[in-house]
């Protein structure tokens, strides 16, 4: 394709939309649409894919779209194209406007960092399996913090015992609220897929792996409602999940000391303000942190429950001891190679999400 300012191929545009589609999204909803016209890829929200119970104000939808935007931009950059990014060119109305544009303005070789991150796009995935007990080294944490800062966001690591305890309590609290909310369970169940060919949602094996017993302080999202079955609330289950046999504090402490307990890095990603552009930026930062972790050989999974609910979301920020707005919590560590294999989560084809307008 020859244009006034630059030369690029339709394949490069398709590859960028395909890379964008590999971004993480809430419940793998992939809530985005792309249009290509006049050397510009435009990203819009697909509100038919919103999840209004867990995400009533579309905050997590915007975070998901921000991660897709980063991937699309990285793919164009890795192909040596220079790109100008525009945010909310039509204003902040998600139902009518574009969230962002990627305008191809020329050629520029990618930086080493851009190539490394673009290469990690197809290898990144959410790893809900147990991690090894190894702690996250300070040097890796610095790299992840710089990745968030490169997108204008902050990343706090919960290292103090008090803060980690506070977060694990908040996660458990949010998990309990959601576990007992039939609307939340019904919405979640509608995004769990039995069909191995399904191109969106969470495949059942990945959902079930979230419910496995794991030696950890941090409750991951249970896609089965605590039952091992999707969408069923088991009222006979004890609040602490022990089946009624309570261990003494000493016994519990001993179990934790002797088990191969994972000690993941727990990272809180946030923004100073909380408008649509901040949330989109948080998605870019989330994407950049996760890709940086992947490039470093680290495994990651979001710990979303505590930020689904506004009340616990505000408390998470105070647990980190600062101001601003929490956008995401992540668990980061080293993958356990002896864990059951990862179930890949599939994506919609490019033809489903890209409108290629004639004349371009």
Where on the chain is the footprint of ligand FMN (CB under 6 A)? 24-28, 60, 63-64, 67, 125-126, 128, 202, 210, 220-221, 301-305, 345
Angle between helices 310-319 and 161-179 (to 10 degrees): 170
Rounded to an integer, what distance in angstroms lies between the CA atom of residue 70 and that of residue 292?
Answer: 12
CB 308 within 8 A of CB 173: no
> How many other CB atoms are there within 10 angstroms of residue 313's CB atom?
20
Closest contact distance (angstroms) between CB of 240 and ligand FMN is 21
Residue 244 and residue 247: Cα distance in Å, rounded?
10
Is the Cβ of residue 196 or residue 252 nearer to ligand FMN in the bound state? 196
Nearer to ligand FMN, 110 or 304 (CB): 304
Which of residues 40 and 224 has its CB atom nearest to ligand FMN in the complex?
A: 224
- Closest approach of ligand FMN to the CB of residue 332, in Å: 13
Nearest approach, Cβ of residue 281 and ligand FMN (Å): 13
Helices and strands of the chain, counted as H and E runs? 12, 11
Residue 44 in contact with residue 97, Cβ under 8 Å? yes
Which residue(s) pair with 267 in the sheet?
157, 330
The number of residues making up the chain comes to 360
Whole-angstrom distance, CA of residue 44 vs CA of residue 97: 7
DSSP code of residue 131: B
> Nearest distance from residue 292's CB to ligand FMN, in Å?
15
Q: Which is nearer to ligand FMN, 108 or 123 (by Cβ)?
A: 123
Nearest approach in angstroms of CB 87 to ligand FMN is 18
Of the pair 23, 104, the CB lying nearest ligand FMN is at 23
Residue 85 CB, shortest distance to ligand FMN, in Å, is 19
Query: Shortest gap between Cβ of 326 and ligand FMN (angstroms)?
Result: 12
- Distance, CA of 41 to CA of 91 (rounded, Å): 17
Lookup: tokens for 141: 């944490």
Smallest gap from residue 302 Cβ to ligand FMN (A) = 4
Question: Which residue of the chain is nearest ligand FMN when measured via CB?
Answer: 304
Q: Which is nearer to ligand FMN, 40 or 301 (CB)?
A: 301
Distance (Å, whole) CA 300 – CA 291 = 10
Which CB sits closer to ligand FMN, 49 or 221?
221
Residue 6 or 227: which CB sits closer to ligand FMN?
227
Query: Cα separation of 118 and 288, whole Å?
Result: 10
Characterise 211 by phi-psi region: left (phi > 0), alpha (psi -120 to 50), beta (else).
Answer: alpha
């Amino acid at each position: 394709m020859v244009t006034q300012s630059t030369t690029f191929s339709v394949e490069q545009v398709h590859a960028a939309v395909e890379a964008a589609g590999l971004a993480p999204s809430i419940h793998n909803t992939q809530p985005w649409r792309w249009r290509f016209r006049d050397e510009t890829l435009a990203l819009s929200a697909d509100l038919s894919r919103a999840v209004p119970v867990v995400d009533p104000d579309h905050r997590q939808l915007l975070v998901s779209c921000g991660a897709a935007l980063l991937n699309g931009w990285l793919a164009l950059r890795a192909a040596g194209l220079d790109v100008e990014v525009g945010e909310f060119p039509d204003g902040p109305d998600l139902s009518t406007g574009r969230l962002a544009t990627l305008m191809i303005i020329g050629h520029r070789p990618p930086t080493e960092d851009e190539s490394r991150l673009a290469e990690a796009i197809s290898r990144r995935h959410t790893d809900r399996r147990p991690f090894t007990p190894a702690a996250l080294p300070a040097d890796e944490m610095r790299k992840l913090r710089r990745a968030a800062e490169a997108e204008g966001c902050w990343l706090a690591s919960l290292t103090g015992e008090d803060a980690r305890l506070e977060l694990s309590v908040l996660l458990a609290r949010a998990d309990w609220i959601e576990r007992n909310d039939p609307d939340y369970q019904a919405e979640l169940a509608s995004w769990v897929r039995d069909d191995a060919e399904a191109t969106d949602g969470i495949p059942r094996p990945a959902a079930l792996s979230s419910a496995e017993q794991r030696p950890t302080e941090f409750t991951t999202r249970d896609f089965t409602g605590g039952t091992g079955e999707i969408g069923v609330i088991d009222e006979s289950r004890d609040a602490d999940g022990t089946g009624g046999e309570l261990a003494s504090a000493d016994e519990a402490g001993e179990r934790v000391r002797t088990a191969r307990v994972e000690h993941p890095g727990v990272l809180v990603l946030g923004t100073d303000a909380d408008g649509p552009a901040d949330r989109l930026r948080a998605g870019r930062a989330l994407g950049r942190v996760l890709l940086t972790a992947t490039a470093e050989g680290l495994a990651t999974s979001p710990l979303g429950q505590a930020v689904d609910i506004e009340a616990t979301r505000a408390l998470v920020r105070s647990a980190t001891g600062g101001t601003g707005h929490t956008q995401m919590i992540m668990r980061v560590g080293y993958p356990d190679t002896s864990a059951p294999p990862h179930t890949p989560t599939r994506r919609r084809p490019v033809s489903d999400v890209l409108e290629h307008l004639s004349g371009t």
